[in-house]
Structure 1
Amino acid sequence: MAKLVSKVYGDALFEESIEKQSVDTLFHEVKALLAIWRENRELAELLDNPKIVKEEKIGIITNIFAGRVSDDLMGFLAVIVDKGRQKDIPAICTYFIDTVKEYKKIGVAHVASAVELKSEQKAMIEQRLLETTEYVEFEMEYSVDPSLIGGLVIRIGDRVVDSSIKTQINELHRSLSKLQLS
């Protein structure tokens, strides 16, 4: 259900941003809003309090964000709170951000390696990804996983390229275990 709510509201915000040619502005504002929301659990708890009526919740949102975000986002937040969907704000923001990234052809790549990569290696990986995908830009996220032994595991969305030695050893093990000696 939450996924459907985030899609409906996220798509509505995206369509409005396209209509008003404010994709970049709303993109940055929503990213900032999501960070604020995640850092301030008290705000979410306050807005989830059933003892506070909707009008007061909208007043709280207005006091915090009016003049700091665009009128479009301010109105959008008021609608969300009015509909009692404030718990879904993080999911809606995340959906909107992901939708804008796809629209702008910004990929998010998660790269795991056995050791810390040098900046030249990171640049080569990003360049290779730009050459082999439809994306024009990448947000690169690197992590170190010593269990890989060597090689890389690259994940972009639901696609995974696994060239790690760990996986190659596991595949070799599976192949050898299928062999029957006569």
Structure 2
Amino acid sequence: MKGSLISTAIAEPYAQALMSVALSHDLADAFGEECRSLVTLLEKSPDLEAFIASPVIKEIDKKTVLGKIMGEGTNLYLLNFLMLLIDKRRIIFLEKICRQYLTLLRKLTNTVLAEVTSAHKLSSEQSESIANKIEELTGAQGVEIKTRIDPNLIGGITIKVGSQVFDASLRGQLRRVSLSLGGIA
């Protein structure tokens, strides 16, 4: 159900409400950082995701755990929003809401999301160079890079921005050569 239309229909109004609160208090970027952290945490911890999604676990326990995870420095508006999600039994959609919020934030700041896949870990200079090139190609004011390592690329990188894919990988080049020679990739 995570990727379904129903979860999107539920997540979108909550993300818009969070954006509205963030904008009215000049906290859009701060909430964006918190949302990125939450998404990363939920991706890396299936146990946490199962915990907050479980209908068996009491709401007070979920509130306590989320409060400790967020820490004392968390903005009160954001913390109250998370508690509201628990009260309304919508906490199961937390990751989707955070992703939707980040999409809204990128639109607001004219930032694009670039999914970069490389054979090896990129250095900070390489990431910066890629970001500059993507800004140049897209006309965006900023680039948010999400990296992934895929040793099957052999070398080089692939970059996905929206529906566009730029394949500068060795595997892609070998596939193109094979096709031009009449072989099957």
Corresponding residue to 2:99 among 91, 94, 97 = 94
Structure 1 position 48 matched with structure 2 position 78: no
Which residue of structure 1 lines up, in the alignment, with residue 9 of structure 2? 4
Q: Please give the per-residue CA displacement for 1:125-180, whole angstroms capped at 9, x wherever unaligned.
A: 332222221222223345555544555421123321123343344344445549xx
Task: Give 2:131's match in structure 1, choosing from 123, 126, 130.
Answer: 126
Relative to the length of structure 2, the TM-score reads: 0.69
Could you tell me which residue of structure 2 aligns to residue 140 of structure 1?
Answer: 145
Q: For 1:167 and 1:43, locate their aligned partners in 2 and report how far apart those are by CA, in whole Å.
A: 36
- Matched with 2:86 is 81
Is contact 2:35–2:98 with CA below 8 Å preserved after alignment?
yes
User: For 1:62 and 1:143, how far apart are their aligned partners in 2?
Assistant: 28
Q: Which amino acid aligns with 1:68?
A: G
Q: What root-mean-square deviation, in Å, do the aligned CA atoms of Structure 1 and Structure 2 show?
A: 3.6
Unaligned residue ranges in structure 2 (runs of 5+)? 1-5
Q: TM (normalized to structure 1)?
A: 0.70
Following TM superposition, where does structure 1 have runs of at least 4 consecutive aligned residues deviating by more than 6 angstroms? none
Report if the CA contact (8 A) 2:51-2:57 is conserved: no
The number of residue pairs the alignment matches comes to 176
What percentage of residue pairs aligned between the two structures are identical?
23
Distance 1:46 1:123 in 2: 36
Q: Which amino acid aligns with 2:20?
A: E
Residue of structure 2 in register with 1:68 after alignment: 73
Alignment of 1:103-122 (within 5 A): 103-113=108-118, 121-122=126-127
**Matches of 1:122 and 1:33, distance apart in 2:** 23
CA distance in 2, matches of 1:147, 1:40: 26
Residues of 1 paired with 2:7 and 2:111: CA distance? 25
Match for 1:100: what amino acid?
L
